[in-house]
Amino acid sequence: MTLAAPRLLLDIGNSRLKWAWQAAEGSGECGVVVHGGDPAAALPSFAPVQPTEVWIAHVTGNDSEARLGAAVRDRFGRAPRFARSAANWRGLRNRYEEPGRLGVDRWLVMVAAWSEQRVATCIVDAGTALTVDGFDADGRHLGGIIGAGLLTQQRAVLGHTRFATRERGPQYHDGFGTDTETCVSQGAMLACLGAVDRALAATGTAARRLITGGDAAVLLPHLARDWEHRPDLVLDGLRVLADDR
């Protein structure tokens, strides 16, 4: 598809909004902002030009979607297109009995991967939640897992215990912790790594391995080799669907 003017792509997660411009010659400027629970209010900060289309993938619920739609119409004078999970896409088949209940971010990373290579694939999205999905070489979605992400786990432990802790950033390494703070951060790290390893085994250890999300760069050094870091994989899937509409 040839675009006369830029298309704006928005990937809205639980805490961050990622955006990218897509023009006739391919991808353009992109970036990320923390939306603080109100992604609609973040729109003016990164959109200096008028797009021909606005495509949105979000996991923030129906009320947020209504506000986003109104904000896009006010800001750009056009209604956005919202990506939805589907039962299938060009041979990729959603395993959910109710396909629309699969998180659209999980669907889009699979669409992106399937559009590139039709091989067995395991995809990790490490953010507020840790999700893993797999599909086989025939495009059959094997299912997935949803768990708490690195920081979510640490906040849960510290918020439900009487540990005396100090304010410090997470300290991740390959061994045990030697103080309460690093013990908690190591527990979260090992839980995430264990979930990824088990999910990969269920997909097949020969599967292609992709990792995305805000904590991907933290987990990646502690994973076995052959994992490919794809920070914009949700946007890549959104771009594929927009081109293929």
Q: What is the pLDDT of residue 1?
A: 46
The amino acid that residue 170 corresponds to is P
Q: What is the pLDDT of residue 44?
A: 65
Q: Name the region of 46 (left: φ>0; alpha: ψ -120 to 50; beta: rest).
A: alpha
Rounded-to-integer distance, Cα 244 and Cα 83, Å = 12
> What are the counts of helices (DSSP H) followed by strands (DSSP E) for the chain?
6, 12
Domain topology for 119-230: Nucleotidyltransferase; domain 5 (3.30.420)
Which residue in 11, 105, 125, 133 is the catalytic one?
105
pTM of the model: 0.91
Helix (H, G, I), strand (E, B) or coil at 62: helix
Rounded-to-integer distance, Cα 180 and Cα 165, Å = 7
Task: Give long-range contacts, CB 8 A cutoff, 24+ apart: 113-118.
Answer: 113/208, 113/210, 113/233, 114/89, 114/90, 114/139, 115/90, 115/237, 115/240, 117/208, 118/91
Which residues of the chain fall short of a pLDDT of 70?
Answer: 1-5, 24-28, 44-48, 162-170
Quick count: other Cβ atoms within 10 Å of Cβ 64?
A: 17
Q: What is the pLDDT of residue 225?
A: 83
Rounded-to-integer distance, Cα 178 and Cα 115, Å = 45
> pLDDT tens-digit profile of 22-53?
976 556 678 888 888 888 888 766 666 788 89
Q: Name the region of 139 (left: φ>0; alpha: ψ -120 to 50; beta: rest).
A: left
Quick count: other Cβ atoms within 10 Å of Cβ 34?
A: 10
What are the residue ranges of CATH 3.30.420.40 in the chain?
7-82, 119-230
> pLDDT tens-digit profile of 73-108?
998 889 999 999 999 999 999 999 999 999 999 999
Q: Is 105 a catalytic residue?
A: yes
Q: What is the pLDDT of residue 50?
A: 82
**Can you give the length of the chain in residues?**
245
Q: What is the pLDDT of residue 168?
A: 58
Q: Where are the beta strands (DSSP E) in the chain?
A: 7-12, 16-23, 26-34, 53-58, 81-82, 88-89, 92-93, 121-126, 129-135, 141-148, 208-212, 227-229
- Could you tell me which CATH class the domain 7-82 is placed in? alpha beta
Q: What is the pLDDT of residue 2?
A: 46
Name the β-bridge partners of 27.
Answer: 22
